[in-house]
Structure 1
């Protein structure tokens, strides 16, 4: 397998709006990130991914871009970004930008022109269709609830928006659109950006017949996800842009299983460095956003293992993540955010850094930040959450209390609450009321406290990152699952050229004894790291404490 810097990197994701406010307006900004570069260097990460900072009216927190070559006023200036890039590069850190090219804002120049008339030169930059019997062109449903079609009275047609009505989809069938986007991408690469995370990039090709979709789930996704020309478009984009640079590309790909993933990331195909898979963070939904279901470790292990083996066998790569701006906090979801918060946060971090792929740390994950609990449906800021709640209200089948419980568990707002820097008012994020409600546990969970404690989640993440840099087996070793049927423990090997890594993870809140005698033939191994303050002797029949993680080298 070819060695690449982005395979060996650990990426830190920053949601700028919630990271650090430097100018006292309650909103994080680029100078706020500049103030925290020492912190990023101390953690040991190699690259920083910024959520969108482009000019935007903020209907979907920056994922509705009105100008790809300008910075959102709230975040600062292009000079601020250039300074941030320079400071990161001086410390050997890369910078990755979010690239949103499935859609733009309806306030983008292209769309404002497109909406003027049917014969406008920009009309075909977007997807416009006639209705059917005074109804939308088809029954497709938006990711944010409701129809994907918005009627425009002026031109008597509908335009397509897979997300908010203020996020019209670009028409990738139009070669002029593609050429304009490639020119913009190259402009950023020439400026010194080290790569892109490409938002919902597998949605760019739609079935041009626009047939009705199957009812249930996200209606129509079989016609707009992984469409007929998606790989043609991506290969064309790669050839004309980032493949001419030493760039890292991360494709966000909803509705992609492990077989489809190979087409995006197999090295010989030259499409993306890696993708962002969804199955492992959606398997607890059981078909619908509002369905909160009990999950089992066996199912998670099977999913992770299937992906690990498939990519390994096909010379493909992936991102490793549990948290991001679209997912609830992992320690509240797959761990224990109460009694065993620190232990389970460390255990989940161990999994993140010892599988085959590139680890992504989302801000606050490295100190074990938890989900927030809002007291009212009106508290939710997230457009996706509000859309789902509106759908549930219309169905009228749930009480407000039931909807609040679901939203508190699912909402993307869980990840977007401000970063906890210290125990002062507003957690050191700002000196004024933040744009979104603070999690009230910040006096207990914050960076300052973690930096002072030898037993903190932060210090553990530091060690994980340092070990990954020291031992190539973490990056390039082959993955092999052990004790497949165990309902409580996730155990596996990474088999390298110089040494092997044995990982044991107890996902239970009870002590668990395991037996590896039929799985391994080794007498001794070196303990690299565990998440409790003791040094257990090596044994093929160990008893693991609640949420214990151990790593052995042999």
Structure 2
């Protein structure tokens, strides 16, 4: 077993609903993924992380699971899954499943039983509470505490049949599991082992830092301008979280042969906490997804309250995490996933003259840092945010709920709310993968469940895969550098030109070899004092992202959105 194989690996996230539709129903499926395995192999990725394909009512696009051991018919069958798994493995690519165990669907048999009566044996599998202060069920303010849901509204839903409320940190159709109950944990571990026995190679763990809650569930502070209390201090990094993760490792992974990957999605996790979660000696998870860098453009009002982010903000934050996990732990490196707007529109420049260069520059600074890079489908093409015209164009439950609360309840200006949705909505990441200039971006022969970005006629895989100067080609080169360079996998990280307002520059060093990454993350030329990079004058340029980068050196200037990588032996 190579316990650190993932140091030189690159993970590719597939969002099945939007990746490729094989049967013309407008929804992506497993056979659609199978049809594009050669594409993934051509890109050079080592792992595919598959967003949920389990049986689900799809209130939250499959993150509300009604049966962990069934494939939703929308996506296919177990025969399709087995063919997909075999096809990946034959190409040397591992498969990581999405593990969603903070909550289930309210249509999961566990919850159906739990809700059936006050004395059902599974009643304690979820968080049930009586109305507050002896108030009547359904009365205003009767919710057991004042927490708000991540998807707007209160975090409690009344069950009229039993007169009690259940906790849901997300949709009301996503009740939270009670991990305090050992039977819940055993059922989860048994399910995880079942999937590993089928041949999968690990799990990406959805909001796994929420599974241990302060059992008293106290009220949270109500931030200014908000309708509900902030329960985060009481449900994140809870008192038994390390115990639960160590128990999970022992019951699921310990003693198994094979190379597995575990990554925990942990909103709000700090460096000090991440050091503990990813310390190999503690046997919890291999790496975490932290959110600090993708929260930088969130204002005081949260994710829908946009604020500008400077290059200084961005590089200092990422460098802080590089340094914080340098000796203990490991970084996950990502710009995009199914919950984030497209990075080329967010931190880059999606105008035609800069889209490709900025996509390549952002990819360069991310992929050559210390950590495991994650590529979200379409990122390798430079896919951008979507010019949604009306609220009817959106599909995401978080987006729709926010619009209804902001406009209908709080009376905010509808045009301003729509502008925020265009910038930030998760649907920016969920429009169809852009395969070609054919109708619906070549994603489906039918009507797509959500419309494709109109720019697919120019930005698509067919146009990029054989073009030597494309975003796809650049990502392929980045992945190749990581695969063959011990400096990238194991080297130290040192931020240079730390105070430059346009340049993100750093040095990686290992066993006498060094890499210098120098990237202008702006649309204006950048000047710098070349003496600050003394010793790099004769270094070999190993990668550049502009047509004329082949002749570039450490010269004191960098073109708009230019990224350069130099090597010294």
TM-score category of the 2 structures, normalised to the smaller one: over 0.9
1:142 and 2:149 correspond:
yes
Aligned to 1:334: 347
C-alpha separation between the residues in 2 aligned to 1:319 and 1:242? Answer: 20
Q: CA deviation at 1:311?
A: 0.2
Q: CA deviation at 1:479?
A: 0.5
Match of 1:347 among 361, 385, 392: 361
Q: CA deviation at 1:4?
A: 1.4
C-alpha separation between the residues in 2 aligned to 1:387 and 1:244? Answer: 45
Match of 1:195 among 189, 199, 202: 202
Q: Cα 1:519–1:543, aligned 2, differ >3 Å: closer, same or farther?
A: closer
C-alpha separation between the residues in 2 aligned to 1:450 and 1:220? Answer: 45
Contact 1:512 1:546 in 2 (8 A): yes
Contact 1:473 1:498 in 2 (8 A): no
User: Deviation per CA, 1:4-38, whole angstroms, max 9, x where unpaired?
Assistant: 11111111100000000001100000000000001
Q: CA deviation at 1:536?
A: 5.1
Match of 1:214 among 221, 226, 229: 221
1:285 and 2:298 correspond:
yes
Question: Which piece of structure 1 moves more, 516-525 or 257-266?
Answer: 516-525
C-alpha separation between the residues in 2 aligned to 1:340 and 1:222? Answer: 41
Aligned to 1:252: 265
User: Deviation per CA, 1:122-162, whole angstroms, max 9, x where unpaired?
Assistant: 11111100111230010011110111110111111100100
Match of 1:241 among 249, 252, 271: 252
Contact 1:517 1:540 in 2 (8 A): no
Match of 2:442 among 423, 428, 438: 428
Contact 1:54 1:65 in 2 (8 A): yes
Q: CA deviation at 1:265?
A: 0.7
Contact 1:524 1:538 in 2 (8 A): no
Paired residues for 1:414-453 under 5 Å: 414-453=428-467
TM-score, reference length from structure 1: 0.98
Question: Which piece of structure 1 moves more, 43-52 or 516-525?
Answer: 516-525
C-alpha separation between the residues in 2 aligned to 1:174 and 1:74? Answer: 33
Match of 1:383 among 397, 410, 415: 397
Q: CA deviation at 1:516?
A: 4.0
TM-score, reference length from structure 2: 0.95
C-alpha separation between the residues in 1 aligned to 2:78 and 2:71? Answer: 6
Q: CA deviation at 1:395?
A: 4.6
Match of 2:513 among 463, 483, 499: 499
Aligned to 2:139: none
Paired residues for 1:34-49 under 5 Å: 34-49=34-49
Aligned to 1:324: 337
Contact 1:204 1:227 in 2 (8 A): yes
User: Deviation per CA, 1:384-411, whole angstroms, max 9, x where unpaired?
Assistant: 1112212212454422211111001010
Contact 1:16 1:51 in 2 (8 A): yes
Aligned to 1:119: 119
Q: CA deviation at 1:539?
A: 4.3
1:552 and 2:566 correspond:
yes
C-alpha separation between the residues in 1 aligned to 2:122 and 2:512? Answer: 58
Unaligned runs of 5+ in 2: 137-141
C-alpha separation between the residues in 1 aligned to 2:375 and 2:308? Answer: 25
Q: CA deviation at 1:101?
A: 0.4
C-alpha separation between the residues in 2 aligned to 1:162 and 1:450? Answer: 41
RMSD, aligned CA: 1.3
Secondary structure at the aligned position of 2:298 is classed as coil
Secondary structure at the aligned position of 1:324 is classed as coil
C-alpha separation between the residues in 2 aligned to 1:455 and 1:303? Answer: 30
Q: Cα 1:417–1:281, aligned 2, differ >3 Å: closer, same or farther?
A: same
Contact 1:513 1:541 in 2 (8 A): no
1:162 and 2:169 correspond:
yes
Q: CA deviation at 1:167?
A: 0.4
Aligned to 1:363: 377
Secondary structure at the aligned position of 2:264 is classed as strand
Question: Which piece of structure 1 moves more, 274-283 or 218-227?
Answer: 218-227
Question: Which piece of structure 1 moves more, 373-382 or 178-187?
Answer: 373-382
Contact 2:541 2:553 in 1 (8 A): no
Aligned to 1:480: 494
Aligned to 1:225: 236
Contact 2:370 2:488 in 1 (8 A): yes
Q: CA deviation at 1:247?
A: 1.2
User: Deviation per CA, 1:301-325, whole angstroms, max 9, x where unpaired?
Assistant: 1110111001003x21121000000
Q: Cα 1:538–1:452, aligned 2, differ >3 Å: closer, same or farther?
A: closer
**Matched residue pairs, number?**
552
Q: CA deviation at 1:451?
A: 1.8
User: Deviation per CA, 1:221-273, whole angstroms, max 9, x where unpaired?
Assistant: 11111111111111111111124333100100011121111121112111101
Paired residues for 1:6-85 under 5 Å: 6-85=6-85
1:412 and 2:434 correspond:
no
Contact 2:208 2:266 in 1 (8 A): yes
Contact 1:11 1:49 in 2 (8 A): yes
C-alpha separation between the residues in 1 aligned to 2:278 and 2:242? Answer: 11
C-alpha separation between the residues in 2 aligned to 1:30 and 1:470? Answer: 31
Match of 2:286 among 273, 276, 292: 273
Runs (4+) of structure 1 exceeding 6 A deviation are none
Secondary structure at the aligned position of 2:83 is classed as helix
Aligned to 1:93: 93
Secondary structure at the aligned position of 1:110 is classed as helix
Secondary structure at the aligned position of 2:299 is classed as coil
